[in-house]
């Protein structure tokens, strides 16, 4: 079975319109190129146009060398790659699975929300995986985010502290000012770098990090991330024209106590 062979589960549609839905981890420009070259197969037959129906088989001829990943850092041990918005970090048909198609040895070290873009870190050896896993546990890997949030926030630096409780049934977390049963203590450093209308631009520094932590903590502070429907206000997002959250993981910095990977002093930053 080809890595790209998938069963189409959507509504009847033109093949060109169906491709981005079936292959969300691939850039549209590549999908369009494959279609032009007739490197798209519907039920085993090459096609450049036509309809696809529920239950049809879709496949691509796409060798690893045809995929252009935005690699930000690469060594024998570590790989850092830019993930766009709209693609899941891990799981079936995810960005991590695409990275592994090109770099079979790559193991994902952390995740970004589907609608958050930015840097994903991968280990390329067993030693690197063990070192990075422990470093994340001990907060020796620092992540930086850029966000645009709702409301005017006075310029300056703030530390947000709270207690995060994860509600698995709702798929959501909640921040409390005081401990509750099952909660964990969380914090992040926020610097407000500018304002624009009734919004603010912020930079967030985070060591460690829990699921949805930044989104929930910023919302709890009274400044939700624009475009965030889960922790923000959809009426405001719609009125302002934001459909995807304005959150980017733009840098990763290493601060190992014992640096066996030669990464201390390295800061990987989006251009």
Q: Which helix (H) or strand (E) holds 17?
A: helix 15-22
pLDDT in tens, 173-203: 999 999 999 999 999 999 999 999 999 999 9
User: Would you state the pLDDT for residue 170?
Assistant: 87
Q: Examine the domain organization and report whether 19 and 76 are in the same domain.
A: no
Of the candidates 87, 68, 81, the one whose C-alpha atom is nearest the C-alpha of residue 29 is 68
User: Would you state the structure tokens that stand for residue 233, as one six-digit string?
Assistant: 């206000």
Pairing of strands 45-47, 184-196: unpaired
Quote the domain boundaries for residue 53: 6-64
pLDDT in tens, 107-164: 999 999 999 999 999 999 999 999 999 999 999 999 999 999 999 999 999 999 999 9
Q: Examine the domain organization and report whether 147 and 245 are in the same domain.
A: yes
- Asked whether residue 240 carries a pLDDT value surpassing 90, the answer given is yes
User: Would you state the structure tokens that stand for residue 182, as one six-digit string?
Assistant: 């099952």
CA separation for the pair 139, 132 (Å, rounded): 10
What CATH number does the domain containing 183 carry?
3.30.2350.10
Tell me, yes or no, whether 50 lies in a domain.
Answer: yes
- Asked whether residue 25 carries a pLDDT value surpassing 90, the answer given is yes
Q: Examine the domain organization and report whether 167 and 242 are in the same domain.
A: yes
In whole numbers, what is the pLDDT of the chain averaged over residues? 95
Q: Could you tell me the pLDDT band of residue 1, with boundaries at 50, 70 and 90?
A: low
CA separation for the pair 138, 13 (Å, rounded): 49
Q: Examine the domain organization and report whether 160 and 246 are in the same domain.
A: yes
User: Would you state the pLDDT for residue 265?
Assistant: 86
Predicted TM-score (pTM) of the model is: 0.93
Tell me, yes or no, whether 256 lies in a domain.
Answer: no
pLDDT in tens, 243-271: 999 999 999 999 998 898 999 989 999 99
């Amino acid at each position: 079975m080809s890595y790209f062979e998938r069963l189409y589960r959507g509504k009847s549609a033109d093949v060109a319109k169906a491709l981005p839905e079936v292959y969300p981890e691939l850039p549209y420009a590549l999908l369009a190129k494959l279609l032009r070259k007739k490197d798209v197969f519907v039920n085993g037959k090459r096609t450049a146009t036509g309809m696809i129906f529920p239950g049809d088989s879709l496949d691509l001829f796409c060798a690893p060398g045809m995929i252009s990943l935005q690699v930000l850092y690469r060594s024998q041990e570590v790989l850092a790659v830019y993930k766009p918005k709209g693609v899941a970090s891990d799981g079936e048909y995810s960005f991590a699975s695409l990275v592994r198609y090109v770099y079979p040895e790559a193991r994902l070290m952390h995740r970004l929300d589907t609608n958050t873009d930015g840097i994903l870190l991968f280990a390329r050896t067993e030693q690197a995986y063990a070192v990075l896993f422990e470093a994340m546990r001990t907060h020796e890997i620092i992540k930086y985010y850029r966000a645009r949030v709702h409301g005017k926030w006075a310029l300056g630096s703030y530390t947000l502290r709270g207690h995060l409780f994860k509600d698995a049934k709702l798929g959501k977390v909640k921040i409390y000012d005081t401990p509750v049963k099952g909660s964990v203590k969380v914090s992040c450093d926020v610097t407000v770098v500018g304002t624009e209308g009734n919004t603010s631009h912020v930079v967030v520094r985070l060591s460690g990090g829990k699921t949805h932590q930044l989104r929930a903590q910023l919302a709890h502070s009274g400044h939700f991330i624009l475009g965030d429907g889960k922790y923000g206000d959809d009426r405001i997002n719609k009125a302002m024209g934001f459909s995807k959250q304005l959150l980017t993981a733009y840098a990763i910095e290493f601060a190992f106590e014992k640096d066996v990977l030669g990464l201390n002093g390295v800061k990987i930053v989006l251009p």
